[in-house]
Copies of this chain bind each other. A is one copy, B any other.
Amino acid sequence: MTTQEAAGIQAVDRAFDIVETLTELDGAGVSELGRHLELPKSTVHNHLQTLERNEYVVRQDGEYRAGLKFLRVSETARNQHELYQIARSEVDHLAEKTGEISALMIEEHGRGVFVYRSRGSEAARIDTCVGDRVPIHCTALGKAILAFLPPERRDEIVDRHGLEAVSPNTITDREVLAEELEAIRDRKIASDDEERLSGLRSVAAPILDGSNAVIGSISVAGPTHRMRGERFETELPEMVLGIANVIELNIQHT
């Protein structure tokens, strides 16, 4: 690379770089990839052949694309989360009952990963997709997790990723965040007032396992004009909390 920042296996780093830019470009050829990654064609070619042999890359119409074998890996990785298996139908349920979008998040590497999402009948247009990774401090889902992490993990995450302003309403001050997390711990409810996306509000609750460690969170999200007053303050929080409790009970029974 440009600097000697990384002390990993170069070839592996590059392989994943290639796969990622391949998805970004929606498929590409050897030369095009080489240009984007500033690598000689031969190197890229070599990697693509290796990736194709392993079926992680597919070639069609003279273009290379990311293969569906990733689906196999991701699907088993996701299914290995007991939380996903259990929460899935409950998230569907929540979406149906509220008519809005409901989602499940798990934290990884200090970021929030959307693991599942279900759309109710009135659901807003899609903003995020399953698999998306967002800064953890700017979502109700993320804050619900953050609030219940052990303090040292919490600090570590904020130190590493900072508090980037994703929207005008994003919390960017550590003090303010700390207070909000405190409040979240009290109510077991987090909310997001257009902190990630203007026009979008959401309500979330953490999911704790048998030993009271957070393993994820669930939420309901919708356009601000539908998320206000009694509904936003009381109704939805109670619903979300109710479903969260159901999930927690199911988790402890397995």
Check if A15 is an interface residue, CB within 8 A of chain B.
Answer: yes
Q: A68-B131, A106-B68 are known contacts. Are A13 and B54 too (CB-CB below 8 A)?
A: yes
| Closest B residue, CB atoms, query A133 | B72
Check if A161 is an interface residue, CB within 8 A of chain B.
Answer: no
Q: A6-B53, A8-B49, A47-B9 are known contacts. Are A77 and B67 too (CB-CB below 8 A)?
A: yes
A149 → chain B, closest Cβ, in Å? 12
Check if A220 is an interface residue, CB within 8 A of chain B.
Answer: no
Q: Which residues of B contact A54 (CB under 8 A)?
A: 8, 12-13, 16
A56 → chain B, closest Cβ, in Å? 7
Is A65 within 8 A of B80, CB to CB?
Answer: yes
Q: A13-B50, A131-B72 are known contacts. Are A108 and B67 too (CB-CB below 8 A)?
A: yes
Is A129 within 8 A of B79, CB to CB?
Answer: yes
Report copies per complex: 2
Is A74 within 8 A of B76, CB to CB?
Answer: no
| Closest B residue, CB atoms, query A43 | B9
Is B131 within 8 A of A75, CB to CB?
Answer: yes
Interface-located stretch among A19-27, A34-42, A167-175? A19-27
Residue in B49, B55, B71 whose CB lies within 8 Å of A77 = B71
Is B23 within 8 A of A15, CB to CB?
Answer: no
List 9 additional contacts besides A9-B50, A27-B80; criterion CB under 8 Å.
A8-B53, A8-B54, A9-B46, A65-B80, A66-B76, A70-B70, A70-B73, A75-B131, A76-B131
